[in-house]
Amino acid sequence: MSKAAPQKVTVLGAGPIGLEAALYAKSSGLSVAVYDRGAIADHVRQWGHVRMFTPFGMNATSLGLKTLLREKGSRSLPAPTDLITGREFRDAYLVPLGESEQLLESLHLEHTVLHVGRAARGFRILVRASNGTERIDTADAVLDCTGTFGTPRWLGDAGIPAVGELAARPHIAFGVEDVLGDRKDHYAGRSVALIGDGYSAAASICALATLAEEHHATWVFWITRGARGQPLPRVANDPYKERDRLAVKANSLATRCDGNLEFHPQTVLDEVVSHGPDKGFRIAGRSNGKPVSWEVERVIANVGYRPDLTLGVSDPNYVVLGAKAGDAGFLVRTGFDQIRAAFAVLTGNPRLDLYDKKAA
């Protein structure tokens, strides 16, 4: 390792990439602190009921697997080809990794990183614990693995909030709601506006359609900006069959428009007004240029996520990794490549590669 290489690394976020980055740092002989404002892999926990489309073998590294096998021995890990849910991924791999001897002492859960600044002798990081106490941590390098799931995109046209959206936001569901599980009572028999046309929206519409079959009073307005026809673009020869299956099913629901579902493509929103907690919404906009409006009881916004740019410093030793550094189709596996590349630069050792190519 070169003389200028950092000795103390702070990782922001204990998601899949933050945990792996921390493990990589530890395995490179560096001192590490990891902060997460919630629990281990808190964002994965929030979409835990969703089945992942990449097999477990793509979502784990050789370093992580070796750590778990060494410490837990006979613990049963999923098979590399298993398609598991986010919850299973978290329970079988991410939580044990965070609680491993390698990482446990470095991990500070329920600690929110508020600000990061660059001083002459390194980074200063303002952290607030859940009991309100604040302190400053210092580091030679900061790895920002805070993801994007905590900052959903705005619903209005041109990427800004719709009229009323800022006030309505606490009542809008972002993310993939567990409408057939924990959140069933909240959605069964209700009128629901689902906004968005990505894979999260596809998962939501499939679940809502199933719910409507069971509870006939459920009525769903699926609102997308894209052109008429098939809302989900299909990847030619998609290697991830689970993802393709979701796209096909969602497209078929949009085309058939049965199951208490109305599909409204080419629609932009100008207003999302909440009538108060549990009192419903008025949403309005333009569909093909013509004014439209609906009164609905629930709004689910699956319009994608944006990076939180309030956290960040322009410095070669402040490195953004994971979903925050990726595009909309970010895969956990891409994050592992980011980690390897980042440490090769940070340590000044371009040949550093701690991943076993056969296993990771």
Of 18 and 164, the one with the shorter C-beta distance to ligand FAD is 18
Of 42 and 140, the one with the shorter C-beta distance to ligand FAD is 42
In the complex, what is the shortest distance from the CB of residue 198 to ligand FAD, in angstroms, rounded to a whole number?
Answer: 9
Exposed, middle or buried, 110 (CB in 10 Å: 0-12/13-18/19+)? middle
Residue 134: phi and psi, rounded to 5, are: -115, 150
In the complex, what is the shortest distance from the CB of residue 246 to ligand FAD, in angstroms, rounded to a whole number?
Answer: 10
Of 161 and 312, the one with the shorter C-beta distance to ligand FAD is 312
Of 38 and 164, the one with the shorter C-beta distance to ligand FAD is 38
In the complex, what is the shortest distance from the CB of residue 330 to ligand FAD, in angstroms, rounded to a whole number?
Answer: 5
Q: What angle do CA 338, 174, 88 make, to 5 degrees?
A: 60
Residue 122 three-state SS: strand
How many Cβ atoms are within 10 Å of 159's Cβ, its own excluded? 10
In the complex, what is the shortest distance from the CB of residue 324 to ligand FAD, in angstroms, rounded to a whole number?
Answer: 6
In the complex, what is the shortest distance from the CB of residue 277 to ligand FAD, in angstroms, rounded to a whole number?
Answer: 25
Side-chain-side CA neighbours of 38 within 13 Å: the count stands at 13
| Cβ 139 vs Cβ 33: under 8 Å | yes
Binding site for ligand FAD (CB under 6 A): 12-18, 35-38, 41-44, 47, 50, 52-54, 59, 112-113, 145-147, 149-150, 176, 200, 311, 322-323, 330-333, 335
Question: What separation in angstroms does the CA of 92 have from each of 59, 77, 140, 278, 344?
Answer: 12, 6, 32, 36, 29
In the complex, what is the shortest distance from the CB of residue 59 to ligand FAD, in angstroms, rounded to a whole number?
Answer: 6
Of 6 and 175, the one with the shorter C-beta distance to ligand FAD is 175
| Cβ 15 vs Cβ 43: under 8 Å | yes
Question: What separation in angstroms does the CA of 187 have from each of 212, 220, 297?
Answer: 9, 10, 9
Query: Considering just the CA atoms, what is the radius of gyration of the chain in Å?
Result: 22
In the complex, what is the shortest distance from the CB of residue 144 to ligand FAD, in angstroms, rounded to a whole number?
Answer: 9
Of 199 and 219, the one with the shorter C-beta distance to ligand FAD is 199
Of 240 and 294, the one with the shorter C-beta distance to ligand FAD is 240
| Cβ 119 vs Cβ 318: under 8 Å | no
Tokens describing residue 237: 């020869």
DSSP letter, residue 158: G
